[in-house]
Amino acid sequence: CWSISINQDGCQQVVGLTVVHNQLKGVNPAMVLPLWLRAVVNPKPLRMTRRLFSSDAVATQAAAAANIVSPTISAEEYRHRRTLLAQQLPANSLVIVEGNPQLNMTNDIPYRFRQNSNFRYLCPFPEPNAVLVFLTDNDHAILQTTLAVPPKDPYKEMWDGYRIGPEKANEVGHVDHATTNTLPSLLALLKQGQHANQVFSSRGDYPGPHLPTAMTQAELNSRPLNNHLATLRSVKSPAEIASLRAAAQASSLSFNRLMTQLAPGMTEWEVDALLELDFRRYGCRGHAYPPVVATGAHALTLHYVTNNSCCEQGQLLLIDAGAERAMYNADITRTLPVGGTFSPPQRALYEAVLRVQRTCIAAIGSSDGQSLHQLHQLSTALLLEECIRLGVLPAASTTARVRDVMPHTIGHPIGLDVHDPTLAGNSPIVPGSCVTVEPGLYIPENDAFPKEFQGIGIRIEDNIVMTETGPDVLTKDCVFDPDTVEQLCSQYTTP
C-alpha cells in the first residue's frame, strides 16, 4: 500500500511503500501495478514528489490557447481548389472523391472518425460515408458539384449523434447540390458520367458501403486522381499555413511544458499521456499520430510506439510527436536527458545532430536545398563529417556508411497528412511548401562503433514553411538548445 500526502506547495508526495507478499501469491505484480511501481518485486522505502496541476498553470495554458488561432478555410477557397483540379484534368471529365467510412476498433466500438485528407482538401463535410461528384464541360469548367451523404435517421442519431443530412449538406460542404448516399441515389448520380470523356476517382482510406457497387453498375472505369491532388496539396495557401502554424505552436508549448515535468521513474506512456493532455488543452484534437516515446536503446527503433518502459536516470528520451488541429498536423522530435544532464557522449552526438539540422534548415531554397533530395544529400555529407570527427565512423568512410547510423531521409512534406503526399523527392521546394527537417544519429549496440556511443539514438525535428524570403520554422518556439533543454529538464526532480 502507498502512503500519499499533499504538501503546502500543492505537490503529491509518495512517502512509503509496503507490500504484503501473501496477498499477491500467484499474481504477477507487473500485471496489476503501473510500470513505475515495479519496485514491488523488491520492496524498499520510496519517496517521490510529483507536481499536480495548479489553477495558475491551467489559467496560463488557457490564455496561451486563446492566442493560438486556426482560421476557418473559406467556401471560396474550397471552390477554388476544385476549379484548379478541374483545370488539371481533360475536358468533360467526371470526378469522384470518396470520404472515409466509420471504422470499428472492436466488434461494435468505433474509432474516432477522421475524414479522408483528399476529400477534406476539396470539401469540409465532416461526417463518414460521403462522396463528392462533379462533372466538367469542354472548357474545364465545373457544371455542378454534388455531395452524397447519409440520410437523416432519428434512431441512429439517438445512438451516434446528429447527422447533417442532405438537407444541409450543400451549405456545410460548399457544394451546389446534395443527395443521399444510398445505392440508387449514387447510381443515378454516377450515370451522368457515362458520357464523360474520362472518369477520375480518389477513394477513401477504406472502401465505403455503396460506391464500388455503384461504379460497377454504372460501368465506370476510373483513373486515379491522387497525383493531381498531390500537386495541388504540395503548395499551401495562407489559411493552411496558419493552421499548420497553430498546430506547431500548440505542440511546441506542450513539448516545453513536458520538459519541466520529465523525471526519472516516469514511464514512456506517462510522457505520451502528458503530451496528449496538453495538446488538447491547447485546443487540438490530440496526437496527430501514435507518438514515439523511446528511452535509451528504444530510440534505435525508428517507429517504436510500444511506449511501456521506464525512463531511467542518465538515459536519453527521444520523443517524436505532434498535435492535430483543424486536420492540419505538427511533427516534432526532441531528445531529452532524463535527470536533466547530458553525458559527454550524449551531448557530443546531440550537438552534432543539431549543427546538421540548423545547416540544412538554412540551406532550404539555396542551391543545396532546392528539393528534399538535395537536402538529404547535404545532410548525409554533413553527418559523415561529424561522425568522422567524433570517431563514430572511420576516417576513410564514405557517405554510403552514413546509412548505418541514419537510415531515414532528411524529411517529408507535412499538411493534412503527417506525411503529406509528394510526387518525388526531387520535387522543388517553393514558397508555400511545408516540410520537416529531421536528421538523426542512431548508434547500434555492436563493436563496430565506439563503446561510449553505443545504444544512443538522437533525432531533432522541426517543421518549416518556405516563404518568398526564405525558410520559416513553424516550431521555432520548441526548445532545442542543449543548455536550455538541460535547464528545463532539471526542474522536475526526485529527491
- Rg of the chain on CA atoms, in Å: 26
Nearest to 97 by CA among 142, 145, 165: 145
> For residue 244, how many other CB atoms are within 10 A of its CB?
25
Nearest to 321 by CA among 363, 357, 284: 284
Q: Does residue 410 register a pLDDT over 50?
A: yes
Q: In this predicted model, what pLDDT tens digit does every residue of 283-334 receive, in sequence order?
A: 999 999 999 999 999 999 999 999 999 999 999 999 999 999 999 999 999 9
Burial of 9 (0-12, 13-18, 19+ CB in 10 A): exposed
Give the C-alpha separation, 151 to 102, whole Å: 15
Grid cell in block for residue 424: 518525388
Sign, CA torsion 450/451/454/458: negative
Give the C-alpha separation, 275 to 214, whole Å: 44
**Residue 21: CB partners within 8 Å, gap ≥ 6?**
none
Q: Does residue 368 register a pLDDT over 90?
A: no
Grid cell in block for residue 241: 499555413
Give the C-alpha separation, 417 to 330, whole Å: 10
Strand-pair category, 286-287 with 223-224: unpaired
Q: What is the pLDDT of residue 164?
A: 97
Q: What is the pLDDT of residue 156?
A: 95
Give the C-alpha separation, 71 to 424, whole Å: 30
- Strand, coil or helix: 113: coil
pLDDT band at 20 (very low <50, low <70, confident <90, very high): very low
Grid cell in block for residue 293: 516515446
Q: Does residue 39 register a pLDDT over 60?
A: no
pLDDT band at 56 (very low <50, low <70, confident <90, very high): low
Q: Mean per-residue pLDDT for 469-489?
A: 97
Q: What is the mean pLDDT of the chain?
A: 89
Query: Beta partners for 164?
Result: none
Q: Does residue 16 register a pLDDT over 60?
A: no
pTM score: 0.88
